[in-house]
Structure 1
Amino acid sequence: MSSTAAAAPFWRAAGMTYVSYSNLCANLVRNCLKEPHKSESLNREKVHFSLSKWANGKPEKPVLRSDTPDA
């Protein structure tokens, strides 16, 4: 049995997806860092993206979005 197969039941038993488990672990590591590395890593975790709706076969003006509440 591989270590991945052995670990999977624990996060699944907790009702988590792999992505949520991974994000939780990443946040724990970031919070353990000392400055200036902590603030640098917190800035890198922000994700920005744009969405474009399509109408009549053409994209409309893109809307910039972010997954962080402060941006």
Structure 2
Amino acid sequence: MASNAAVPFWRAAGMTYITYSNICANLVRNCLKEPHKTEAINREKVHFSISKWEGGKPQRPTIRSDSPEA
């Protein structure tokens, strides 16, 4: 029988490790001084494209941007 004492605190709080990791990363970014803070926040932005497929061929892609402020 396993003991609950060995469960990581993020799991006991009902979080996944990714959620815990993202919270920690945001805290670290917000603690940085300028200009390092702005550079770190800009690196966090993600850009990707989405293409719909019709008849086995991709249609024109749509460029999307995902950032924490959005």
Aligned partner of 1:47: which letter? V
- Taking the aligned partners of 1:63 and 1:56, their CA distance within structure 2 comes to 18
Gaps of 5+ in 2: 1-5
User: Structure 1 residue runs of 4+, over 2 Å off?
Assistant: none
- Taking the aligned partners of 2:56 and 2:66, their CA distance within structure 1 comes to 28
- What is the percent sequence identity of the aligned residues? 75
- Taking the aligned partners of 1:67 and 1:20, their CA distance within structure 2 comes to 17
The structural deviation recorded for 1:12 is: 1.4
Aligned partner of 1:60: which letter? Q
**TM-score (norm: length of structure 2):** 0.80
The structural deviation recorded for 1:65 is: 1.2
- Taking the aligned partners of 1:15 and 1:65, their CA distance within structure 2 comes to 31
How many residues align structurally?
Answer: 63
Aligned partner of 1:37: which letter? H
Gaps of 5+ in 1: 1-5
- Taking the aligned partners of 2:51 and 2:44, their CA distance within structure 1 comes to 23
Greater gyration radius: 2
- Provide the residue aligned with 2:19 in structure 1: 20
- Provide the residue aligned with 2:53 in structure 1: 54
